[in-house]
């Protein structure tokens, strides 16, 4: 859930810097789609945004008993999220 929230904030910051009017949404794929208007290269992060949005929904709205996500999958998505953030804000450094 925290990964989703972090990416949501970064995408919204990117869009706000480009004059976007703030909308109440948690949908990473919709935010990424709007960001792609400014940088079509961001489309390569579509799968990441869809997966991470699924994490958020599973955490917020659990349905029955779901198998926990493998840590390796989450680590992979954290790594890809860093690449997305680097793409959005190349002048910033993440620690």
Share of the chain above pLDDT 90, in %: 67
Q: Which residue has the higher pLDDT, 27 or 63?
A: 27
Is the pLDDT reported for residue 9 higher than 90? yes
Whose tokens are 């929230």? That residue is: 5
pLDDT band at 47 (very low <50, low <70, confident <90, very high): very high
pLDDT of 65 reads: 52
pLDDT band at 54 (very low <50, low <70, confident <90, very high): confident
Whose tokens are 């972090």? That residue is: 6
pLDDT of 15 reads: 97
pLDDT of 83 reads: 97
Q: Which residue has the higher pLDDT, 58 or 17?
A: 17
């Amino acid at each position: 859930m925290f990964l989703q929230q972090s990416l949501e904030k970064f995408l919204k910051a990117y869009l706000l810097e480009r004059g976007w009017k703030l909308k109440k949404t948690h949908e990473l794929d919709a935010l990424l789609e709007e960001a792609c208007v400014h940088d079509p290269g961001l489309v390569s992060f579509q799968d990441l945004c869809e997966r991470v949005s699924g994490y958020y929904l599973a955490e917020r709205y659990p349905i029955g008993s779901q198998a926990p996500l493998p840590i390796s999958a989450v680590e992979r998505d954290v790594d890809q999220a860093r690449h997305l953030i680097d793409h959005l804000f190349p002048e910033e450094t993440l620690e």
